[in-house]
Structure 1
Amino acid sequence: MAGPAVWRFDAIGVPWQIETPEPLDVIARRAVEAVIEHFDAEWSRFRPDSLVSQLARDGGEVAAPADAAPMLEAYAELSAATDGAVNPLIGWALARRGYDAGLSLVDRGAEPSPDWRSLLAWDDERLRLRHPSVIDVGALGKGRLVDLVLDAVGSDDVVVDASGDLAVRGGTQRIGLEHPFDPRRAIGVWEIRDAALCASATNRRAWGDGLHHVLDARTGEPVRTIAATWAVAPTAMRADAIATALFFDGGECLAHDWGVSWVRMTTDGRVEWSPGSKAELFT
């Protein structure tokens, strides 16, 4: 019996794959490529022609992207739940630690992120930044893009996998939870259907002396107590957001409020999970 058709490609700096019962036709592939290109052109801080790069240079006011309100409203909840540890203006702090547009990986020291609520505003029509700063939507942006790609595919039976952030429609998937200290091992498996699972770990996008991409916006320092997180939600954006929030105090409460199941592993090897989690953990 033939297996699913798999389309593999690279986008936004990571490998993707889309599984469908039959190969996607040219129209569907072009629709997916257009969605990714449009999102990247608006939100990537790694390309100089993007909207957020323009705002980083000039500040000011621009036409609001369609994703601005959904993502920034979720950021407001993330920021409130984590007492400001999650902040969409974290981009400057990441750049100072070496995770900049050129991926210099040169650490220029920690710097707290600015008070984003006093600088960044939006409505259905306009996005405003009072002075130049670096927007980074990494806390939930890849999950948002997975949701958009899922809709663009248009199939009732599809898996969209963007390197750790995936969404399943019309079928069931068993997903291994990669051990953050040994990628050859798993700490468990999670079976999902018509849902999304997103993961984050400090061993990914790591460099230098203990530096990685999960910074506390209040200090500019990398998180030291949590090694990896996994979250399951109806949408990949919410799963991605909770996977980020779980690195900080308050993430568990927001997950409860949003009805998101989760697992996380601390840097000393303990595994924690939400009440009612259906993950099968190898404990």
Structure 2
Amino acid sequence: MTAATATGSVWTFDAIGTGWGIETPHPLSSATRAAVSAVVDRFDRQWSRFRTDSLVSALAEGRATSVEAPEDADAMLALYDEVDAATGGAVNPLVGDALARLGYDARFTLAPWGDPEPAPHWRDVVAWGSGILSLSRPATIDVGALGKGRLVDRVLQTLLPRVDGDVIVDGSGDIAVRGAPVRIGLEHPYDPTRAIGVVEVRDAALCASAITRRTWGTGLHHVLDARTGMPVRAYAATWAIADTAMRADALATALFFDGGPELAAAWGAPWVRMRTDGAVEWSPGFEGEIF
């Protein structure tokens, strides 16, 4: 996605394996940048399956059966419950091992080392409460369906008390806007120099997902159906607008499956999605322009 914004100061940095940008009216102080970096680093150390020292890696490798629950555990896992139910089990936070079998593993082998396998029924394995996150057996938690959106929200929450004026947090396609409205282009999944439409976002978040990002090999990409362990085939890209980036990110994943539009309607969230044959669908409440 591309955003057309007012002139301001932009801080760009890399985090959780992708590029980020924060736009504010004036340059951020070193203390504010340090506060943002601390939030990002803590989230990464807790939830990254690509780090050997993370909490989810300790659980996946059986080095621990339970850990102190990260502060984001309840919000993210409770939302997974909703998305899982809405999509009939297609979205599941234990999809990490299925991704690894196809080559998207902690070593970035990017070559399948096993046949696709469905993710386990996660509620039979994952439990949380009373400050504890535990697994009944080793398994790999992957919060990619909504985790980046959650981190965008956390970064925005860190910035708002410290910034006087408009704020845009862009986590490489997951964008949260506070203040003046921002026109955002919907990037064509097969041609990043083009947009299929544009929408104005104000005091909300817009998140996108596409099968043409994080791809490797023929037909291999990061959006899997947890019920089969196979990459999705029907849709190429999705966009969703919601009150928080975590919800928008979750919907951008859910929209690859049956049940996604119904969940978006229940949340009052407008959306757009493109099929792999190029056809574009959008919700009745979408107020942007499709070209």
TM-score by length of 1: 0.98
TM superposition shift of 1:124? 4.1
TM superposition shift of 1:85? 0.5
Match status 1:22 vs 2:21:
no
Higher mean Cα deviation, 254-263 or 241-250? Answer: 254-263
- Cα deviations by residue, 1:109-142 (Å, 9 ceiling, x for unpaired): 2011011011101114111100100000000000
Partner-residue secondary structure (3-state), 1:212: coil
Aligned equivalent of 1:43: 47
Measured in 2, the distance between the counterparts of 1:135 and 1:276 equals 34
Match status 1:70 vs 2:103:
no
Measured in 2, the distance between the counterparts of 1:63 and 1:40 equals 15
Aligned equivalent of 1:102: 107
Letter in 1 for 2:108: L
TM superposition shift of 1:225? 0.3
Letter in 2 for 1:19: E
TM superposition shift of 1:60? 1.1
Match status 1:87 vs 2:73:
no
Aligned equivalent of 1:253: 262
TM superposition shift of 1:153? 1.2
Task: Give the one of 200, 203, 216 matched to 1:194.
Answer: 203
Letter in 2 for 1:78: V
- Cα deviations by residue, 1:162-196 (Å, 9 ceiling, x for unpaired): 11001000111111101111111110001101110
Letter in 2 for 1:138: G
Aligned equivalent of 2:182: 173
Structure 1 residues not aligned, in runs of 5+ = none
Measured in 2, the distance between the counterparts of 1:103 and 1:124 equals 35
Match status 1:206 vs 2:215:
yes
Structure 2 residues not aligned, in runs of 5+ = 1-5
Aligned residue-pair number? 281
Aligned equivalent of 2:156: 150
Aligned equivalent of 1:131: 137
Measured in 2, the distance between the counterparts of 1:153 and 1:81 equals 33
Superposed counterparts of 1:2-13, under 5 Å: 3-13=7-17
Partner-residue secondary structure (3-state), 2:241: strand
Match status 1:118 vs 2:127:
no
After superposition, the CA RMSD in angstroms is 0.9
Residue identity over aligned pairs, in percent, reads: 64
Partner-residue secondary structure (3-state), 1:152: helix
Equivalent pair of 1:55/1:134 in contact (CA under 8 Å): yes
- Cα deviations by residue, 1:43-85 (Å, 9 ceiling, x for unpaired): 0000000000000011511111110000000000111011100
Task: Give the one of 58, 61, 66 matched to 1:57.
Answer: 61
Match status 1:268 vs 2:274:
no
Partner-residue secondary structure (3-state), 1:107: coil
TM-score by length of 2: 0.95
Equivalent pair of 1:93/1:110 in contact (CA under 8 Å): yes
TM superposition shift of 1:3? 2.2
Partner-residue secondary structure (3-state), 2:278: coil
Measured in 2, the distance between the counterparts of 1:259 and 1:48 equals 39
Letter in 1 for 2:281: E
Measured in 2, the distance between the counterparts of 1:85 and 1:57 equals 24
TM superposition shift of 1:36? 0.0
TM superposition shift of 1:257? 1.0
Measured in 2, the distance between the counterparts of 1:279 and 1:273 equals 10
